[in-house]
Amino acid sequence: MTAMFGGAVSAQEGETITQLKEEIESLKSLSEQSFKLPVDDIQPLQLPGKLKQPRLYFDPQKMERLKQSIQKHGVLEPILVRPSAKGRYEIISGERRWRSCRALEMEDIPAIVRDMSDAIALEAALIAHLLNEEITPVEQTESILNLLSLHLNMPIEEVKANLHRTKNVSASVSNKEGFEEDALRVVTETLKEFGMKLSSFVSNRLPMLNLSPEILDAVREGKLSPTNAVLLNRQPSKMHAELIEDAAGLTKQDCMALVRDLEKERAQKQPSSPSPISDRVFARIKAVRKKKSLLQLEQAQKKLEEIDRLLQEIESLSP
């Protein structure tokens, strides 16, 4: 069993995502070779720098159902962990099961222990979640960026900048170079393993990371699709909370219709912009000139003299 991940770990970067998928799937049938580990000796996956583990949001209702199942039947599938410092372990796959066991105050949990580098651990964690369809598009996008950052030894912001530049060069809209040839190959192959292309990843996935925190949370929680989230993000931030509720579960077409109706309603309520002050003054002077009887009054004459004096002051102003 050690050979399953042993060979891969000894040649970390040679491990392909396809191989990892096969190995993770095969682990599910090896519960008899798992160990009982103390729940308190286990923690979520820890990664260097600003890198994040794939799974950040846990649906409360699903967690409650899992907890009830474990309470009744026990943990049917071992979690996958890697050794950490001070005799502890980090979770690669199975954090929901571990959290449920901890909530039930269980002492131990079945686990399979494998040595993995940060890159392989993140890749394996991401694949495990994708196989079970457990993570949102936002979490997947962030995890892929984390993977690229590890594989390329490059900060995430630099990875994102190079992705944009490479896409623009391909589209002949920029003369700034993106990734070098070897790095581009790594990026292309990584995205391909997850069924993506560089252009679509940059156009459809990266914009999600610029969503407002409120809308980003809604995507994480599965309330909004990424496409609908981008549409709603263009609206005033004070309306986001209401829009999230209105758009929950809508198709892209229905969400677009909702946004159009909202923009139309807002345009109707918005007062028309006032005309320039000079236009208003000249229009009123023109109207007053027609009232000849009014202009003959002594009080009106005094006001006209004041207006004449003000006009002279305006004329004396330097442009």
Q: Which residue type is seen at 41?
A: D
Look at residue 120 and tell me whether its pLDDT is greater than 50.
Answer: yes
Give the whole-angstrom CA distance, residue 42 versus residue 94: 11
Looking at 54-145, which runs of residues are DSSP E strands? 79-83, 89-93, 108-113
CA nearest 148: which of 219, 95, 201?
A: 201
Instruction: Write down the pLDDT at residue 90.
Output: 94
Question: What pLDDT shows up at residue 14?
Answer: 42
pLDDT confidence bin for 137, thresholds 50/70/90: confident
Q: What is the pLDDT of residue 29?
A: 58
**Res. 97 pLDDT band, cuts 50 70 90:** very high
* pLDDT (0 to 100) of residue 164: 87
* 138-159: average pLDDT: 86
Lowest mean pLDDT among 150-154, 175-179, 231-235, 262-266: 175-179
- Comparing CA positions, the residue from 243, 28, 6, 242 lying closest to residue 128 is 28
User: Has residue 195 got a pLDDT over 60?
Assistant: yes
Closest of 207, 171, 174, 201 to residue 189, by C-alpha: 201
**Are 216 and 208 contacting, i.e. CB atoms less than 8 angstroms apart?**
yes
CB 134 within 8 A of CB 59: no
Which domains occur in the chain, in start order?
Answer: 1-135 (3.90.1530.10), 148-208 (no CATH), 211-267 (no CATH)
Q: How many CB atoms lie within 10 A of CB 311?
A: 12
**How sure is the predictor about 173, in pLDDT bands with cuts at 50, 70 and 90?**
very low
Lowest mean pLDDT among 76-80, 107-111, 177-181, 186-190: 177-181
- Please, which pLDDT band fits residue 68 given cuts at 50, 70 and 90? very high
DSSP letters for 44-80: E---STT---S-----HHHHHHHHHHHHHH---S-EE
Q: What is the pLDDT confidence band of residue 3, given thresholds at 50, 70 and 90? A: very low
Q: What is the pLDDT of residue 17?
A: 63
Mean pLDDT, rounded, of the chain: 79
pLDDT of residue 23: 66
Which DSSP state fits 167? H
Convert the pLDDT of each residue in 277-294 to its tens digit. Answer: 777 777 777 777 777 777
Does residue 310 carry a pLDDT above 90?
A: no
> Using CA atoms, how far apart are residues 59 and 196, in angstroms rounded to an integer?
26
Cα-Cα-Cα-Cα dihedral sign, residues 274, 275, 279, 284: negative
In this predicted model, what pLDDT tens digit does every residue of 123-132 receive, in sequence order? 788 777 766 6
Are 39 and 102 in contact by the 8 Å Cβ rule? The answer is yes
pLDDT band at 6 (very low <50, low <70, confident <90, very high): very low
Q: At what angle do helices 17-27 and 118-131 cross, to 10 degrees?
A: 60
Give the model's pLDDT for residue 171. Answer: 52
pTM surpassing 0.85? Answer: no
- The predicted pLDDT at position 89 comes to 95
| Choice between 59 and 113, residue whose per-residue pLDDT is larger | 113
| pLDDT tier at 33, thresholds 50, 70, 90 | low
